[in-house]
Structure 1
């Protein structure tokens, strides 16, 4: 299958009244390709550029950029000599938020990979070194790299916002900034997203360690579920909170498991029979909405 050209002009014709400025112009450009358009004055060079940039609308023909038509796009409603830079600022803010989301995922992975947690691990290839000095280490270097790149992308948001202010709506103070931040921010954002996809695709999950970490709490992670169940049963929230907290503090001090202490508490045992209490401590009950959430995210149109 032939790769689609980055820019394709197909049978482009422009007519002003009874005069044709362009007649059935065809050409294609690939990424990183330079194309020169040469001709005498009045040959239609400027008209062609104005069609591609959206200043003129062709009489017939098509202009495609990366497979998408450039025709019919809405014009900038308040352009002066330049397009207002708030458009650009919004774009860089979007890149900053994308980078921030990627960093949020990367940082959480790094936290889960800490030795004392050890629940999730980024991919680690055969022969790879976690540390040049300490052979036992398995550092999340990809997630750390994503974190650093995300900070760099976000740092470009501030100059993009400052570029919104131009003298008399037209100076070139924005130009030098955009020439630096535009290629950097877009390239870095693309790179860190590809790297993040690689990390997520190869992430390793230690389910046994996750369960062990949860069991360290002696069931305290289910305290909210117990509190809400007591409230649903008609118990005043403050009184229910105090009862659950009393059992939780006793469990923390080693007087028994949270479940056993709840079962022996007169107030709680009266309102929550053993079967219902068992359900509140069932992990599957707390994960019951996960498939729906994943389906909602992964199959969102």
Structure 2
């Protein structure tokens, strides 16, 4: 019984973290058809920015409660600054090019961002444990669990709900769906496709940075964390269907619980379990569970 509870709680927590870390990747692909390998670099920037800002703030001796505001602000700063610089400075010149070229370009951006983090914050580790430590733990059926991780579950639900509402219940969201369906028709209708691309990329980068920012209080932030997350985020969106927000939710749940099962029942298979789930899903649904329909042009 206790093992089942531990698997359920850990699986839910890991799924929430995976969703927060990967939803920006699927959003950018869904709108812009760019497989953004640089997503891992934005995740790392968010983690470093959050840890650095929390470290500076806590040195002042002020209340820890305000660190929970620093986390999203750090992600927003990364999204606006890095997102605008890269989209306006590099990617806008690549629109309409071959998808393989876009992958190579974003991979090059990822390598640059890896070096940027080292130049700014060095190669040592950074620790910002205060937000997670301040909330303490709670017992679930006798098993202690970090309250901070439970808060991430709530945050993932809020982010998912806001994205769904924005895409399906607002005028801008419906215009965005038109852009996703056909860029040429959208331009003919007078929709500013370039502006939608810029805003989408900034939001996607902000979400990627948010995944790193909320992770910083739970880990030691070190060089290379961006490479780790891009692999798992890619597995999530491939399972759910690239470009689908709902698919990202389902993919995160699948991967989260597969990982929790392996950790508690057979730890050596922790990493293998993620790719096993992906292989099984793709064997029956080659484009993922909720892949977006591709329009056929004549």
Q: What TM-score results when the alignment is normalised by the length of structure 2? A: 0.23
Q: Bigger radius of gyration, 1 or 2?
A: 1
Higher strand share: 1
Higher normalized contact order (CA 8 Å, seq sep 6+, divided by chain length) = 2
Higher helix share: 2
Q: What TM-score results when the alignment is normalised by the length of structure 1? A: 0.22
